[in-house]
Amino acid sequence: MASGFRDKVAIVGMGCSRFGERWELGADGLMVEAFGEALADAGIAREQIEAAWVGNALDDINVGNSALPAAHALRLQRVPVTRVENMCATGTEALRGAAYAVASGAVDIALAIGVEKLKDTGYGGLPLKTKGVQNDLWMPYGSAPGTFAQLAGAYAARHGIDAGDLKRAMAHVSWKSHQNGVHSPKAHMRKAVEMDKILNAPMIADPLGLFDCCGVSDGAACAIVTTPDIARGLGKVNPVTIKAIQLSASNGWEMQYGEWDGAHVPNTRVASRKAYAEAGIQDPKQSIDMTEVHDCFSITELVIMEDLGLSDEGRAPADILDGRYDRDGAIPCQLDGGLKCFGHPVGASGLRMAYEVYNQLQGRAGDRQRGKVDFGLTHNLGGAPFNSVAAVAILGRLN
Amino acid sequence: MQIGITAMGAYLPALRVDRKAIAREYSWSGLGMPRGGFRALAGWDEDSLTMAVEAARGLVRTAPESLRIASTSAYYTERSQSAIALDALALPRTVRTVDFGNSRRAATTAMLDALLGTGDQIVVASEKRLTQAGSAAQLAYGDGAAAVRIGEGGGARLAGFASVTHDLVDRYASQDHPTPYAYEERFVRDVAVAELIVPAIRDACEEAGIEPGHLTHVAVAEPVGGTWAAAARQLKVAAPNHCQSVSDAAGDLGTAMPLYGLGLALAAAAVGDYVLVVGFGSGVDALVFEVTGEVEGVAGFAEVLTQGFRLTSPTRFLNLSGALSLDWGMRAEFQQKSQATVLERVGRDTIGFIGGRDSGGNVQFPKSAYPVNPALSEPEVLEDVRLADLEAKIVSITADRLNFTPDPPFDFGLVQFDNGARVLMEMVDRPEQGFAVGDRVRMRLRIKSQNRELGTRTYFWKAAPRARPTLGDA
């Protein structure tokens, strides 16, 4: 009987580059920036890393495929390095790989690093690519805002919510994150934005306006993982541990089979329920102290709140407008400003979220610190609502 | 049994350029161009192939012996339009295919060949021709298609015909000059009437055993305006030229013009009437039909002429007709590829929009070894189900303004078929109020992707509103 990750793997060091339009750095420089911070945090030397997983989603944008870009950038000493890619869940996928290595006993210390260098495309938004495969022959390639915007109409239809009311709740999601991002020195965007400006912004993909969308940016984040015993040996008295990591991938049911209502993301529901069970959490509304979720678009965060079981079905707009997920609310969401303020260097985002939870758990989040945090949750959603990969991780302390 | 026309089909793109609005924009130049009526304008994702398929799709309930496509504007110079259309229409690969081109007369020639053959053949004519900005042809031409099925027992039998081959250069287009180069209209009209059209019509009527004055309806594709009027005076024919209605409402459809006019003429004719169709270009074909009964499909021709969306924006018109190259930014540099190996594996199911029905009765697209149906757990071979002719309902939708498309916005979303199939699709023929969850949609064959560097296109189906609005007066 599988027993899961719970408390088998400790995180002893994390690092995160400053996210943004890092014109001065390539992917290698971004990784070095994050890696140096993590090594210092862990109190280990580079040579103690026995295996590494590098997450990078868009191989043709200035990073390159395989493990070699990371092995070169960090000059890893001929240790096994594996590249992983799972769309927007890539960063968490790297953490999962490193954690598996430690949990299995294969290695003592492993590195997970995620990086993306998106600002070399020459334009905003994610790059499109085509390989001439079967899907290219029939599947429309809408933009990322276009794919997620479709949640809104379906959600409004499913719950009988007026489009204007939904838009206001979506605007609150973005307003709240921009308020939080002011306090994140490493965020791409650190300005509060007025509600009227959000509501009246130019339309990107109906009904998502400019401020309903996160930007893209350059960035890297990493984690050094080991066993709790070794963590204590490194001076971490009550180390941060992984309570759960769960992943769920679409099998085509949403976009090919006529049952899905288009108003929720089944993979998030599956991954979170499994994660709660793995972490031993009975009631997430009571136990989860904070979340960093995949707010690629405001409507996504709204729907995620229900999919994670933090809002009841159809109640997310009201909960959001009531401030339940604000920094002083019951379960703050995006204390660091989220994708909305950090942007979304795809391969790095999952680890950037873990970085915020890791700091909050240890009371090291500075102006953003949310009192005592026992359990923090990260969530990634790769792909599109109708064809996704969802990853949920729960972090806490060993004792 | 006598061979004749059994059925016809017509297709025009939804956009109709208001000629008066565009001509007004050109008024500073003093250039001469038509100022009344509409010009049918293909969307960026329509070409002569997609429109040919749309015109023919109502005629293929059973497979014909052959499929012939006539066009002077085929995208590929080496890759058969009719072969691609065969797959798009989900016809068996044993159906013979022929492409006719290089003359506006190609459709009447193909139709005549079919009528003189063994029957059960489909002839389609389709055009989307390039024109030079500011030329008379830019507003006089129109994009569209018409199709005819020929077989035993049709409602219009060929009573007589005549063909004249004559390299009269009234206009031309070439590899070096792909837009039409036209000569003086009075010269063309005088020679065409005297040397080609009048003699051919006399011969065709004589073979039919009638005087030209007995013709009750005609469909004469004129090389220039006033041709039919001049010929009719000499022939003492009072019958209306139904191609004039096409010119007024949609424009000169090239190879499709005589077929479209013939459809209108047959719809207006009564049993016992004689109907003339004339195709012109590098000569002339004159065919006289005796109406012996009903021809399926012709009743819809007039309605197609009057339904669509009025377009008055000069820049949108120039953009869609290829006369204006806009800077769409770097996103427009995206070039989608298609691999021949992939096309060979799944191309026929894709362009035919063929999904599969599993053992539980659910239909899915594309097909897969393991059905998407969660009730089934073993691999199985799915039964072919064509989705192209079915309606569906929009489940989710957005108007994407970030994604590049030559005619924004990029509407797309999930659509649900009643048989269970759910497909992520582009939407086309955007209604004025946009698309909404719950809207019923029908399928239209369109260009899915084009790669201008490699000179290739792929085709797939897109969801369109079930009906089009009726146009007002221009």
DSSP codes joined into one string, A221-246: EEEEEE-HHHHHHTT-SS-EEEEEEE
Task: Retrieve residue B195's tokens.
Answer: 């040397």
Give the residue-averaged pLDDT of B371-381.
92
Task: Retrieve residue B203's tokens.
Answer: 């011969």
CA distance to partner chain B, nearest, from residue A349 (Å): 22
Here the CATH number for the domain that contains residue B66 is: 3.40.47.10
Indicate the pairing of strand B283-291 with strand B274-280: antiparallel
Secondary structure element (H or E) that encloses residue B112, with its range: helix B106-115
Distance CA B151, CA B156 (A): 10
pLDDT confidence of residue A277: 97
Indicate the pLDDT class of residue B1, thresholds 50, 70 and 90: low
Q: Are A70 and A366 in contact (CB under 8 A)?
A: no
Best mutation site among B422, B461, B462 for testing chain A: the one with the most A CBs within 10 Å?
A: B422
Lowest-pLDDT range of A119-133, B70-84, B201-215? A119-133
Its sign, for the CA torsion A134, A136, A137, A138, is positive
Give the residue-averaged pLDDT of B213-226.
97
Instruction: Give B-chain residues touching A132 at CB under 8 angstroms.
Output: 336-339, 342
Q: Are B217 and B239 in contact (CB under 8 A)?
A: yes
Residue B409 lies in a domain: yes
Distance CA B291, CA B217 (A): 11
Lowest-pLDDT range of A74-78, A380-384, B181-185, B223-227? A74-78
Is there a single domain that holds both residue B344 and residue B229? Answer: no
Of B278, B299, B321, which closes a domain? B321
DSSP codes joined into one string, B243-261: HHHHHHHT-B-TTHHHHHH
Instruction: Give B-chain residues touching A147 at CB under 8 angstroms.
Output: 398
Q: Are A321 and A172 in contact (CB under 8 A)?
A: yes
* Most distant CA atoms of chain A, gap in Å: 58
Question: Across the A/B interface, how many CB contacts are shorter than 8 Å?
Answer: 147
DSSP codes joined into one string, B335-381: -----HHHHHHHHHHHHTTEEEE-TTS-EESS--SS-S-TT--S--P
DSSP-derived letter for residue A363 is: T
> For residue B153, is pLDDT > 90?
no
Which A residues, 112 through 131, put their C-beta within 8 Å of a C-beta on chain B? 121-123, 125, 128, 130-131
Fold agreement (A9-120+218-240, A144-213+242-397): yes
**Of the partner residues A137, A147, A154, the one whose CB lies closest to the CB of residue B395:** A154
Measuring CA to CA, which residue among B193, B253, B250, B269 is closest to residue B39?
B250
Instruction: Give residue B373's domain range.
Output: 330-465
* Chain B nearest-CA residue for A261: B395
**Of the partner residues B329, B416, B424, the one whose CB lies closest to the CB of residue A139:** B424
Is there a single domain that holds both residue B349 and residue B316? Answer: no
Ranges of beta strands (E only) in B153-228 are: 156-165, 171-172, 181-182, 215-220
Measuring CA to CA, which residue among B68, B73, B142 is closest to residue B311?
B142
Q: Is A145 on the interface with B (CB under 8 A)?
A: yes
Measuring CA to CA, which residue among A220, A222, A223, A224 is closest to residue A29?
A220
pLDDT confidence of residue A388: 96
Angle in degrees, CA A370, A372, A378, rounded to 5: 65
Residues sharing a CB contact under 8 Å with residue A278, sequence separation 6 or more, in sequence order = A4, A5, A6, A243, A244, A245, A246, A394
Phi then psi for B208, rounded to 5 degrees? -80, -15
Q: Is A257 on the interface with B (CB under 8 A)?
A: yes
Give every strand in the sheet of B383-386, ordered side by side. B363-364, B354-357, B383-386
Give how far Cα A6 sits from Cα of A112, A230, B138, Å.
Answer: 18, 16, 71
Best mutation site among B357, B365, B396, B417 for testing chain A: the one with the most A CBs within 10 Å?
A: B396
Instruction: Give B-chain residues touching A143 at CB under 8 angstroms.
Output: 400, 402-403, 410
Q: Are B221 and B257 in contact (CB under 8 A)?
A: yes
Q: Match 């193909």 to its residue by tokens.
A: B110
Q: In this complex, do A257 and B337 lie within 8 Å of one another by their Cβ atoms?
A: no
Q: Is B339 on the interface with A (CB under 8 A)?
A: yes
Task: Retrieve residue A34's tokens.
Answer: 């994050």
Is there a single domain that holds both residue B222 and residue B341? Answer: no
Residues in a beta bridge with B281: none
Mean pLDDT of chain B: 95
Q: In this complex, do A142 and B347 lie within 8 Å of one another by their Cβ atoms?
A: no
Distance CA A318, CA A159 (A): 12
Q: In this complex, do A205 and B438 lie within 8 Å of one another by their Cβ atoms?
A: no
Distance CA A122, CA A290 (A): 36
Measuring CA to CA, which residue among B295, B335, B324 is closest to residue B454?
B335
Q: In this complex, do B345 and A256 lie within 8 Å of one another by their Cβ atoms?
A: no
Indicate the pairing of strand B144-152 with strand B156-165: unpaired
Task: Retrieve residue A216's tokens.
Answer: 């893209």
Distance CA A62, CA A118 (A): 8
pLDDT confidence of residue A59: 65
Residue B453 lies in a domain: yes
Q: In this complex, do A256 and B421 lie within 8 Å of one another by their Cβ atoms?
A: yes
Is there a single domain that holds both residue B355 and residue B290? Answer: no
Residues of A classed as catalytic: 88, 344
Total structural domains in chain B? 2
- Helix, strand or coil, per DSSP, at residue B141: strand
Q: Is B414 on the interface with A (CB under 8 A)?
A: yes
Q: Is B458 on the interface with A (CB under 8 A)?
A: yes
Length of chain A: 399
DSSP-derived letter for residue A185 is: T
**Of the partner residues B334, B365, B372, the one whose CB lies closest to the CB of residue A253:** B372
Residues sharing a CB contact under 8 Å with residue B353, sequence separation 6 or more, in sequence order = B365, B386, B387, B388, B443, B460, B461
Measuring CA to CA, which residue among A107, A6, A23 is closest to residue A62?
A23
Is there a single domain that holds both residue B186 and residue B301? Answer: yes
Task: Retrieve residue B217's tokens.
Answer: 């309806």
CA distance to partner chain A, nearest, from residue B81 (Å): 18
Q: Where are the domains of chain A?
A: 9-120+218-240, 144-213+242-397
Residue B94 lies in a domain: yes
What's the topology of domain A144-213+242-397?
Peroxisomal Thiolase; Chain A, domain 1 (3.40.47)
Give how far Cα A39 sits from Cα of A15, A51, A82, A353, A397, Å.
Answer: 8, 14, 19, 18, 20
Instruction: Give B-chain residues touching A136 at CB under 8 angstroms.
Output: 336-338, 342, 449, 458
pLDDT per position as a tens digit, B407-423: 999 999 999 999 999 99
Q: Are A112 and A53 in contact (CB under 8 A)?
A: yes
Distance CA A223, CA B172 (A): 69
| Alpha-helical runs (H) found in B173-300 | 185-191, 198-208, 227-235, 242-249, 256-268
Q: In this complex, do B422 and A131 lie within 8 Å of one another by their Cβ atoms?
A: no
* Chain B nearest-CA residue for A213: B402
Residues in a beta bridge with A308: none
Residue B450 lies in a domain: yes
Into which CATH architecture does domain A9-120+218-240 fall? 3-Layer(aba) Sandwich (3.40)
Of B279, B295, B321, which closes a domain? B321
pLDDT confidence of residue B341: 84
**Of the partner residues A122, A137, A206, the one whose CB lies closest to the CB of residue B458:** A137
Give me the half-sphere count of Cα atoms (radius 13 Å) on the Cβ side of residue B270.
Answer: 1
**Of the partner residues A123, A154, A203, the one whose CB lies closest to the CB of residue B437:** A154
Task: Retrieve residue B210's tokens.
Answer: 């009638």
pLDDT confidence of residue A131: 66
**Of the partner residues A146, A253, A257, the one whose CB lies closest to the CB of residue B412:** A146
- Helix, strand or coil, per DSSP, at residue A65: coil
Angle in degrees, CA A293, A172, A153, rounded to 5: 80
Q: In this complex, do A386 and B396 lie within 8 Å of one another by their Cβ atoms?
A: yes
Is there a single domain that holds both residue B29 and residue B127? Answer: yes
pLDDT in tens, chain A (399 residues): 788 989 999 999 999 999 999 999 889 999 999 999 999 999 999 999 999 999 999 865 556 778 888 998 898 989 999 999 999 999 999 999 999 999 999 999 999 999 999 888 777 777 766 666 788 889 988 899 999 999 999 999 999 999 999 999 999 999 999 999 999 999 999 999 999 999 999 999 999 999 999 988 999 999 999 999 999 999 999 999 999 999 999 999 999 999 999 999 999 999 999 999 999 999 999 999 999 999 999 999 999 999 999 999 999 999 999 999 999 999 999 999 999 999 999 999 999 999 999 999 999 999 999 999 999 999 999 999 999 999 999 999 998
Of B273, B290, B321, which closes a domain? B321
Is there a single domain that holds both residue B346 and residue B315? Answer: no
Distance CA A337, CA A188 (A): 10
Q: Match 């302390």 to its residue by tokens.
A: A397
Is there a single domain that holds both residue B405 and residue B428? Answer: yes
CA distance to partner chain A, nearest, from residue B402 (Å): 6
